[in-house]
Every structure is written in structure tokens, then in C-alpha cells.
Structure 1
Amino acid sequence: MKLTYHGKTKDVYRFPDGNFLLHFKDDMTGADGVFDPGSNEVGLTVEGAGRAGLALTKFFFEKLKEKGIRTHYIDADLEQATMTVKPAEVFGKGLEVICRYRGVGSFLRRYGAYIEEGAPLEGFVEVTLKDDQRGDPPISKDALAMLGLLSKEEYETLKQLTIEIGQVIKEELEKKDLELYDIKFEFGRDKTTGEIILIDEISGGNMRVYQGDQPVEPLALEKIMIKE
């Protein structure tokens, strides 16, 4: 295997057959030792966080597979904290797609003059550029098309997939009396078929989840969803 990408929370290796191996690390995004899924920096390292993130990712990707939703997922090895995936091409240098059900985080920081904290958003979808230096700026459908990152038709596909996948995750969490406030996805083009597919991970590090009025930390979320 060849190391192709050294990331904040995952390292990526390429197999000779063209597939990739993702190694989930125990590093988590945040600041000053406090977890924050919207942060661009590694803020803390928690033993077992990588395996917990992979366990949830495996759980959710297999739920999506049951529903016929295409992803890059092939299989996972929880003991090694690794996941094998199909090759996919990202849009530009990468996009993040957020589905928001409550007004919190960066959404509240931007629009707090017009909305109260925690106000319902009913699955609002926004796209940001993966660009740590510029703070992952939001980008519109027209701008994506103008920059050649995504056609307007592809944007609509991306948006619909985000809503559909977000609803699956939301419903699974509701079975455990948990509420999804927001979730961050990444998509790419399948290098074989050209279809837009879900890539990266679906873990507690990519979402805000609450039990009543209390936030649920990523490791606790894995225990609730997988072990109870």
C-alpha cells in the first residue's frame, strides 16, 4: 500500500488494485480540548475515537446499502480501525455538504441576528469548500457552476442525496431517542461509473446529536447506537 493522504482524522492508502484504505485515527476536531465537528483543527486526541468513528460509519453505510443508496464503502475492519473503499474523484479540492435540522454552530454564528439558537431548519442544505486557510467558505449553486466544480444539474442531485441520506441517519438516531441537529457529508464521482456517490465517513465526529437538551459526544454516540 502507498500513503496518498495524511489527514487530520484519517490517513489514506492506495491498494495496487486501485481501491483505497482509510485508517481512522484517535484525533478529533475542536479547540482547547473541546470537540467541535465544525472545526478545521485537531483539538483533542481520545483513545478509541478512531474505532468508534469507524464502527458508526460501518453501521450507517450498511444501512444505506440496504436502501440502495450508492456509496464508496466496500468493507471495514474494526480491530485495525480501517475501511476499504472504491476510488472516487472529489469536486475541485473537495466539498463539504451540511444538512441542518437546528440552527446551531456556524449557521447560528452567521445568521444569529435572524434566528434563535436551536430553531428548527427542516433539513436545510448548504455546501462549503474544503479550504482550511479560508475557513471553509459557503458556496452557492451558481458559483459552483461558474467555477466548474459542479453543474447545476449535479448540484440538484447532490442536494437530493444529502436530504435522502440525512433522513436515513436521522431516523436511525430517533430509534434511540436521539435528535440530529446537523450532519456533514462529502461526495465524489465514482471513477468507474461517473455517478455522484457518498464518500468519506458517517461518524459522531461529523454530526451534532442531542439527547433531550444535552449534546452526545462521539464515543457515547457509538455506545448508544452499536452496543445498547
Structure 2
Amino acid sequence: MSSTESMKLVYTGKTKNVYALDNGNYLLKFKDDCTGADGVFDPGMNTIGLTMEGAGRAGLRMTKFFFEILNQKGIPTHYIDSDIDNVTMIVRPAKTFGKGLEVICRFRAVGSFYRRYGDYIEEAAPLPAFVETTLKDDDREDPPITKDALENLGILTPDEYEKVKSLTQQIATIIKEELAKKNIELYDIKFEFGRIGDEIILIDEISGGNMRAFRNGEYIMPLELERMVLDE
């Protein structure tokens, strides 16, 4: 896993590049680029706003930590192995839903949820592991999509939607409980899922760049979050 020169680059993403391996698996190379705007980090944005040295390594360390917990609990993921020194991760091949679907689990009303519904709820008010889905579509700014629309567009069947929702709440709760051990509160987290055959599995990463976490009411930046979770 030390070199990507001989592997086939199949996708260049905002925060990771994806390479095809000869055995059918994929290698993800993490970058130091982070989503946001005008130099300010925001996990809900779909544009690169800044580069933070060490962000890729921090993201991979967190991802390895949480994926290994999930695998031990029997939750299906694409994770196989990782190489922290080379900032790479080997994963099983999975098909995305449509051109990509993001699933957010919210424990507090912040970010885009509060911007949309602020007339009806106070900022940071508790939410009951509320799940919403958005399409990965940069040109349309990742539009939210309903269960009915997902079915009508042929992206998810109703049964698949319920499975994704259940997995989202289960995984988010596990991560929330792990963070709580460090006196950290998870406000929201973003996941991606895919298919291997008929099995729905968690894909992509689980890192500070995909979540909002707070300690004593103060937001924790991704690099600091990784340090708190893994080194304190």
C-alpha cells in the first residue's frame, strides 16, 4: 500500500482519490483538503474551502477507529484495512445509490437543518436521531430528497430506505456513545451507503470532517477532535 503509481486512478474526489486494485478491491488515498467556504471549515458544504495539513491522516485515523468498532459489532461496512503512514485505506467494491446519496443523522438542530426550519425550532435544540437524505449533486447544492422521491426516481426502494435509515441511527448512536466517553457531544454526522449484491453497507469515511462535535458547548475542529478521541 506504499505507492499509488502503478494503480489505476478511477475517481478524483474532494477529500480522497480512489484507485482500483488488481484483486477487485479499491484503495482510497486521503487528502488534506476540507469542505467549507472562504477558509472556514463546514462539514455540510460541498466545496473545498481550505487545506489543513494533517487533515487526511487525522481523517483516516478516526475512520479506522470507528470502522473497526463497527466491524466488531457486525455492522456491514466496506472497510478492509488501512495504512496510516501512507494515508490510504483498502475497501470492498460497492455500488452507490444513484450517483451518490448522503444520509445525515441529527441529534441537535444546527447547520442546514436550523437554516431551513429556524422558525419552528431553537438553534441546537435536541433532535431524536433525525434522519434526512440528500443527493450528491454539486451543481444543485446537494438537494434534500424524500423517501417517496427516492422510490419514484429508482434510487431506493421503500424497504431499502428503511434499512438505510435504521443503519444510520444505529451507527450514529454507536459513534455518539463513543464520543461521550471523552465528554464530547455529537450534534450531527453524515454517512454514505452502497450495495454489495443485495447487502447494504456503510461506505466512505467516518471522520471529523463528516460530523459536528462539541465539548462544553464549544465546537471542535476535525484535527482537534481526532486528538481528543484517540490521544487523550
Instruction: Please report the TM-score for the alignment, with normalisation by the length of structure 1.
Output: 0.98
Residue matched to 2:229: 225
Residue matched to 1:106: 112
Match of 2:215 among 211, 218, 222: 211
- Asked whether 1:6 is paired with 2:12, we answer yes
Residue matched to 1:137: 143
Q: Which runs of 5+ in 1 are unaligned?
A: none
Superposed, 1:112-191 pairs within 5 Å as 112-190=118-196
**Residue type of the partner of 2:134?**
T
Cα displacement (A) at 1:45: 0.4
**Residue type of the partner of 1:163?**
Q
- Asked whether 1:38 is paired with 2:54, we answer no
How many Å separate the matches in 2 of 1:78 and 1:226?
Answer: 13
**Residue type of the partner of 1:17?**
N
Cα displacement (A) at 1:98: 0.1
- Asked whether 1:194 is paired with 2:198, we answer yes
How many Å separate the matches in 1 of 2:52 and 2:163?
Answer: 36
Residue matched to 1:71: 77
**Residue type of the partner of 2:183?**
D
Cα displacement (A) at 1:184: 0.1
Q: Tell me the percent identity.
A: 67
Tell me the SS of whatever aligns to 2:167.
helix
Q: Which runs of 5+ in 2 are unaligned?
A: 1-6
Give the aligned CA root-mean-square deviation in angstroms.
Answer: 0.6
How many Å separate the matches in 1 of 2:145 and 2:46?
Answer: 17
How many Å separate the matches in 1 of 2:126 and 2:138?
Answer: 28
**Residue type of the partner of 2:162?**
E
Cα displacement (A) at 1:194: 2.2
Residue matched to 1:81: 87
Tell me the SS of whatever aligns to 1:68.
coil
**Residue type of the partner of 1:188?**
G
Tell me the SS of whatever aligns to 1:84.
strand
Residue matched to 2:3: none
Instruction: Please report the TM-score for the alignment, with normalisation by the length of structure 2.
Output: 0.96
How many Å separate the matches in 2 of 1:58 and 1:194?
Answer: 25
